[in-house]
Homo-oligomer: A and B are copies of this chain.
């Protein structure tokens, strides 16, 4: 029940981030809807394709589709008010990437993959909806440039696999990994920490 609520809040936050990028590009209503949808479910879809889960998750999740459609309509109508909920959106988004990272790791474990690959799948689940969003909007994905987003997911995954080495309940390791991701991301944004950019000096 708790995870269910987090999933919905995360979906809403991801969809709204899609709406904002799509509006910047002056897309029409259908374009905005697709971008919001892809942002929210793209990461999980890519994960399912890579593992070979069929059909991909959203084809059996009508509720997610409905939530995204309603979110998009509300976001379009109340676009001027969105700035007043910016902090809540950041929080939902952050909780969302925490949860989605762990969902991806779980699916990787269920497919008998190694911890390293599970962490990769968790990161893909949490981050690649945004990557597909940016590609569809003809931008270099923002997480390749500045947002310290994926790094936080990878660290959260490491925390999880560290914790389950100890005699600890799985639910607790799971929750602590999510909390780690949330705290690290809030701190990174608070203190404007980002990965070093690398300039090519070769000629």
Contacts A55-B50, A55-B51; A140 near B143 (Cβ below 8 A):
no
State how many angstroms separate the Cβ of A198 from the closest Cβ of chain B.
5
A residues with a Cβ closer than 8 A to B are 20, 22-32, 34-35, 45, 49-56, 59-60, 62, 65, 76, 79-80, 82-83, 111, 113-114, 116-117, 120-121, 131, 135-141, 143-146, 150-151, 194-203
User: Would you call B198 and A76 a contact (CB within 8 A)?
Assistant: yes
Chain B residues contacting A136 (CB-CB under 8 Å) are: 131, 135, 140-141, 144
Please, how many angstroms separate the alpha-carbon atoms of A6 and B31 in the complex? 28
State how many angstroms separate the Cβ of A38 from the closest Cβ of chain B.
10
Identify which of B30, B62, B140 contacts A150 (C-beta below 8 A).
Answer: B30
Chain B residues contacting A199 (CB-CB under 8 Å) are: 23, 26
